Structure 1
């Protein structure tokens, strides 16, 4: 049985990006979160829905804001090119080190596995079956 959260209109909203409320859910006029419950009702075409992250709820939570209190959309991260000095010595040494264990692993895999004829389990390098105690050569 798989337990999942219910699907609703809030799941489709991106985090921290303002979206017009009238575009995501129809309904009656409502209030801006920042203006408070004493403020006048506003049409949904005048309000912005913003989905915020929550430390304990992975789906986050949504609040409505008027144009005056609408949070700014998140800034795009600046991508800086990674500038490293050109050096072939570390790359060559790294390639040399990585090829040696691969050869050892391939050599270990080539050896056939010894199986106990009674239990059909792999026998350790000692040659004695761990299940029945029979010696396998």
Structure 2
């Protein structure tokens, strides 16, 4: 028996992105996760869905947040990559100076003509007892 994960509306939400709840799951008013169950339900147009990553569940989990409690998205800072000042000619010259790796041909192994299995180093087939000597 193969166990597979079910597919639902949470699969459509990208990780680490805020999405208006009404856009993904229409329905009745609901509560902010941080405000708790004692708070008043809010319209889904005022709540944000955020899909968190989970260390043991690759699908993650989704929480709804009000505007006051929604997570702050931190975009990673990408450093500019500066390529070394080498020309294409110098890299080709360096490649030409390197010696080529020697190629070792694969040795043909002896096989039994009856069973078509590889024969041991003694020259005797382990399946049928055929010997090459």
Same fold judged by TM-score > 0.5? yes
Distance in 2 of aligned mates of 1:128 and 1:80: 64
Task: Show the counterpart of 2:129.
Answer: 133
Q: Output one character per residue of 1:11-58: Cα deviation in whole Å (capped at 9) or x when no partner.
A: 111112110000000011111111222222211111000011122222
After TM superposition, the runs of 4+ consecutive aligned structure 1 residues lying more than 4 A away are 82-88
Q: Displacement of 1:84 after TM fit? A: 5.7
Q: In the alignment, is residue 122 of structure 1 matched against residue 127 of structure 2? A: no
Length-normalised TM-score, structure 1: 0.75
Question: Mapping of 1:27-42 within 5 angstroms?
Answer: 27-42=27-42
Length-normalised TM-score, structure 2: 0.77
Distance in 2 of aligned mates of 1:129 and 1:40: 81
C-alpha spacing 1:74/1:9, structure 2 compared with 1 (3 Å): farther
Unaligned runs of 5+ in 1: none
Question: Mapping of 1:94-109 within 5 angstroms?
Answer: 96=99, 99-100=101-102, 103-104=103-104, 107-108=105-106
Task: Show the counterpart of 1:47.
Answer: 47
Task: Show the counterpart of 2:66.
Answer: 66
Unaligned runs of 5+ in 2: none
Distance in 2 of aligned mates of 1:108 and 1:12: 51
Q: Could you say what the CA RMSD is over the residues aligned between the two structures, in angstroms?
A: 2.9
Task: Show the counterpart of 2:7.
Answer: 7
Q: Displacement of 1:2 after TM fit? A: 3.6
Q: Displacement of 1:74 after TM fit? A: 3.8
Task: Show the counterpart of 2:78.
Answer: 78
Higher helix share: 1
